[in-house]
Amino acid sequence: MALVNHRTGRAMSTKYANRVFGRDRDTMDVAFPGDVIGLVNAGDLAIGDTLSVDGKAALPPMPTLAPEHFMLARSRDSSRYKRFRRGLAELEEEGVIQVLRHAERGDREPILAAVGPLQYDVTRHRLEAEYGASIDLTPTRFVTARRTDKSGAIALAAARGVEILTRSDGTLVALFESKHGLNAILRDQPSILLDPVFAS
């Protein structure tokens, strides 16, 4: 069967679909709702993609909750930096963690944003177990994040206790050291975009 990826509009073949159950794999011709299947050579697929016969199926994007915890990440072993970077990119794509990059620090020392501290344990374990990349996580002084735009980033550049970072999808994110500082900016400069909705 040929299916269309709604996100890309490209057709893909399900010629070698496999039923997946634990470690078992069986080639299959028919699947029903709830079946877990594996598609061979499905490199174009991303988390949240929808496949349909006509490509017209539209599902809402998976929601992303606003992060409340922020840690600076560093690779412990510079020789495994590529694994560190690739692992973070894949974990971010899966929704395990959000990766925020500073214009100057870039990928070397990203800030990882999470809803809860358990996400850091999952990130550390998976980076070490699946990618062979051990990391150091250092708490930051940031307590809240807001989405902004280019003009907001320029206006906030001189503000104390604020840092502007970029998410992988290009979204500009303002991190604040205190909620009082955020509230003062919201009060004194209401024209700055500081959207509390932090969705991807």
Residue pLDDT, tens place only, 121-179:
999 999 999 999 999 999 999 999 999 999 999 999 889 999 999 998 899 999 999 99
Confidence of residue 103 (pLDDT cuts 50, 70, 90): confident
Domain borders along the chain are 2-52, 63-200
Class of domain 63-200: alpha beta
Mean pLDDT score, 51-60: 80
CA pair distance 148, 150, nearest whole angstrom: 7
